């Protein structure tokens, strides 16, 4: 009875004799870098999704506040009109860099606010109101409505105002500091005067904004109060516009603003450009990780082909002796599986270590960056490894045949 010696020891000896440690190390390193970049980008996207998906996230359109340039003669009423005409607004709306645009609507009557609360002495100040369409506001609008039958005025304040009070006015006048939560509990008495009327309404701070540097009230309240406290029925032209764009660094936008002598807040423009750069870098990192992973797949396939090519004559001899292609391919496939498992373990270990360090650095800057579960990322890593392994096994089997 004719018997065959198991081909495994023979093929393993051939493999060890002609294997290139440099090729396998290059594949392992390239695949590790590619998979690690993909997993890191995926997990950081999950961890930082509040920063990406919130209204002012890095992947959301950006907002610019526009006004006309004022000269000394304009301030004295001798120069050009600092307001925007409807034709100018329509022309801005037609520009390719404009997604949306809306005017600020200002109050046209006298406003005095008196505030008091626990631990706070009564403070009165003159102020003003403005409104924009609700879709331009970057805070919760659950309580953002006004009913003339139950006149409580909801107000959104800039966060910068609260900072100025806490670290400027309150500190120099020995007053207690106010947090955002405490500010929403302070009683506000809003006195409105105009058109031979004077009424006091209750006000309530319902939120804070970082996008708009003004005291916001609902648009329906502005319309109601302007009609009630203003004799002039003509709507004045706006002095400021809010413009939504997907690329604040667009050269066409800069040229247009310079040509028409429009200005934007320097901080807003600078922040928007920084967000645009961060968006491009994030996309670039994901693309580089994908390209490196694809190159590592090709490198492994090429390495396996070269390895098998060196042993072509010996493999043909074993085939003539009766050994199957499956049995001859198994050692090469086992090597690929072991390398891919090693890459998977190393990539996950590096991911956990670096992610922990990054979140530790970001937590003080962005308290809303709560860590997400690693399970989806682990499943993604397993899926990538299974796909790579399947491709490699099929390539080895075809080459042996």
Domain residue spans of the chain: 9-55+271-399, 63-265
* The pair of three-digit structure tokens given for residue 226, joined into one six-digit string: 């302007």
Surface-to-core class of residue 93, CB atoms within 10 Å of its CB (0-12 exposed, 13-18 middle, 19+ buried): middle
Output the CA–CA distances (angstroms, integers) from residue 174 to 168, 186, 188, 352, in the order listed.
Answer: 10, 18, 21, 47
Q: Which is higher by pLDDT, 207 or 318?
A: 207
CB 264 within 8 A of CB 129: no
Share of the chain above pLDDT 70, in %: 73
Per-position DSSP letters for 308-320, written without gaps between them: HHHTHHHHHHHHH
pLDDT, one tens digit per residue, over 183-240 is 888 888 999 999 889 999 999 999 998 888 899 999 999 999 999 999 877 778 898 9
Residue 376 has pLDDT above 80, yes or no: yes
Question: Under 8 Å CB-to-CB from 160, ≥6 apart: which residues?
Answer: 210, 213
pLDDT at position 1, please? 44
Residue 321 has pLDDT above 70, yes or no: no
Output the CA–CA distances (angstroms, integers) from residue 146 to 107, 112, 190, 224, 235, in the order listed.
Answer: 15, 19, 14, 9, 21
Rounded (5°) CA angle 240-272-139: 65
Phi, psi of 52 (to 5 degrees): -90, -30
Surface-to-core class of residue 240, CB atoms within 10 Å of its CB (0-12 exposed, 13-18 middle, 19+ buried): buried
Strand pairing report for 197-209 and 152-158: parallel
pLDDT at position 215, please? 92
Strand pairing report for 120-127 and 187-194: unpaired
The sign one gets for the Cα dihedral 215, 216, 222, 225 is: negative
Question: Under 8 Å CB-to-CB from 23, ≥6 apart: which residues?
Answer: 299, 303, 306, 307
* The pair of three-digit structure tokens given for residue 386, joined into one six-digit string: 């299974």
CB atoms within 10 A of CB 9: 10
Q: Which DSSP category does 166 fall into?
A: I
């Amino acid at each position: 009875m004719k018997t065959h010696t198991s081909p495994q020891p023979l093929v393993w000896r051939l493999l060890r004799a002609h294997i290139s440690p440099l090729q396998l190390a290059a594949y392992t390193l390239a695949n590790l870098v590619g998979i690690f970049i993909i997993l890191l980008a995926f997990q950081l996207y999950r961890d930082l999704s509040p920063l990406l998906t919130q209204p002012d996230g890095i992947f959301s359109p950006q907002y610019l506040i526009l006004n006309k340039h004022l000269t000394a003669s304009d301030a004295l009423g001798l120069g050009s009109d600092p307001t925007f005409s409807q034709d100018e607004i329509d022309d801005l709306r037609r520009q390719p860099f404009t997604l949306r645009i809306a005017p600020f609507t200002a109050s046209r009557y006298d406003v005095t606010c008196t505030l008091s609360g626990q631990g706070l002495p009564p403070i009165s100040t003159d102020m003003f109101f403005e409104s924009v369409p609700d879709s331009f506001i970057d805070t919760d609008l659950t309580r953002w409505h006004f009913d003339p039958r139950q006149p409580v005025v909801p107000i959104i304040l800039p966060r910068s105002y609260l900072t100025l009070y806490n670290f400027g006015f309150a500190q120099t006048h020995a007053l207690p500091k106010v947090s955002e939560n405490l500010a929403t509990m302070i009683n506000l008495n809003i006195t409105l005067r105009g058109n031979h009327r004077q009424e006091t309404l209750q006000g309530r701070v319902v939120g804070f904004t970082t996008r708009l540097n003004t005291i916001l009230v609902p648009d329906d309240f502005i319309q109601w109060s302007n009609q009630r406290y203003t004799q002039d029925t003509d709507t004045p032209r706006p002095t400021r516009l809010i413009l939504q764009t997907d690329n604040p660094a667009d050269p066409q936008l800069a040229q247009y603003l310079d040509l028409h002598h429009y200005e934007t807040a320097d901080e807003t423009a600078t922040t928007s450009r920084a967000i645009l750069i961060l968006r491009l870098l994030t996309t670039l990192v994901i693309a580089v990780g994908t390209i490196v992973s694809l190159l590592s797949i090709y490198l492994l396939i090429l390495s396996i082909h070269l390895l098998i090519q060196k042993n072509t004559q010996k493999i043909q001899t074993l085939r003539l002796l009766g050994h199957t292609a499956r049995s001859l391919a198994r050692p090469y496939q086992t090597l690929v599986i072991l390398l891919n498992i090693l890459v998977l373990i190393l990539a996950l270990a590096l991911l956990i270590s670096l992610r922990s360090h990054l979140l530790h650095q970001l937590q003080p800057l962005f308290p809303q960056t709560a860590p997400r579960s690693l399970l989806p990322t682990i499943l993604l890593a397993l899926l990538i490894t299974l796909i790579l392994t399947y491709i490699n096994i099929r390539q080895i089997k075809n080459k042996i045949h």
